[in-house]
Amino acid sequence: MFDALAGLMAWFYSIWPSYGGAIILLTLTVMLVLTPLTLRGTKSMLRMQQLQPEMKRIQKEFKDDRQRQNEELMAFYKENGINPLASCLPLLIQMPVFIVLYRALRGLTSTSSDVTALCPQGGCFEPKYLSHSSELYQSLASHTQMDWLGFNLAISPSQALSESFVTFIPFGIMIIVVLVSGYVQQAQIQGRSQNQQSQNAQQQMIMKILPAFIGLISFGLPGALVLYFVTSNLFRVGQQWLITRTSYSDEAVAAGVIEVEADEKQKPKKSEAAGNGKAVSGGTKGKPTPSRGGSSSNGKSKGNTSKRTSGRGGTTPSLPQPRPRKKKR
């Protein structure tokens, strides 16, 4: 895996001869590969929001029997095709990718004290996991720094700060971007949740701490990995924005099925009350006299009687409204 990841980065370097550019292209490739998993996690999260009332009912019904509650919830998840961990899968899969990338970058920037023709001053990089004929290997083997936009991606922000504050500035900017973009992602996800109180308290705490934790560990990682965090976070912010604009806008009505049904159940009561009120007020204006053939005392046809029976100004109450049909879950 180290050779494959380093070889892919070398291929990107041949297309875009820039250390930072190769890392950005490599990160975008990883994010695109994980996109299907992200979409599946989003659909599962949306489905859980739709079925949240039923899940609450199960939790309330078996609140005194935690084991039975878990069994019922697992059966409910299986019946409705829900995976509670689906939204976490992209992050979990990124962990081994991050570890491999960390080791690969460490290998690419490993130094040697030997003096060679390519490195007369000594202390140049001796890249591992790369073919000696690749452009990336030849470029690194003759340098002591992985320069990108004027700063060295081979050192960590803490090392840069030990040199000088000016050297630390670009690293500090990247760490700030990592922190801000991490919390923006959490705000995007929580903003789509219809009932944030239904979320697990421990999960909420983890989601709040995780961006700060990544920013903290970035302080001791090589700048190349911090750039990986910056690129992946910004990609996910754009991805979540696109998901919100597409999937959640199309499923907005479906996600609010329960609320719509609750409103519909109240409408007949209001309609009947309004109809009865009109009937009473209409009946006080005069006492109608029954007539033969369905006509009124003033000689009007049967069609007028139908208006009175519909509850529009007549003495008879309005017909009961049909109950709204519940959508199948």
- pLDDT in single tens digits along all 329 residues of the chain: 888 888 999 999 999 999 999 999 999 998 898 888 777 777 777 777 777 788 888 888 888 888 888 888 888 888 887 777 666 666 677 778 788 888 888 888 887 666 565 666 666 788 888 888 899 988 888 788 899 998 999 999 999 999 999 999 999 999 999 999 988 988 877 766 544 444 555 566 767 788 888 889 999 999 999 999 999 999 989 988 887 777 665 444 444 443 434 444 444 444 444 444 444 444 444 444 444 444 444 444 444 444 444 444 444 444 444 445 455 54
Burial 273-292 (b: 16+ CB within 10 A, else e): eebeebbeebeeeeeeeeee
324 backbone dihedrals φ, ψ, rounded to 5°: -65, 140
Full-model pTM: 0.66
Contacts 24+ apart (CB under 8 A), 165-168: none
State the Cα torsion 196-201-204-209 to the nearest 10°.
160
- C-beta separation of 36 from 27 below 8 A: no
Cα–Cα distance for residue pair 121/144, rounded to 1 Å: 9
Cα–Cα distance for residue pair 154/103, rounded to 1 Å: 13
134 backbone dihedrals φ, ψ, rounded to 5°: -75, 150
Cα–Cα distance for residue pair 237/182, rounded to 1 Å: 8
Closest by Cα among 173, 297, 257, 187 to 223: 173
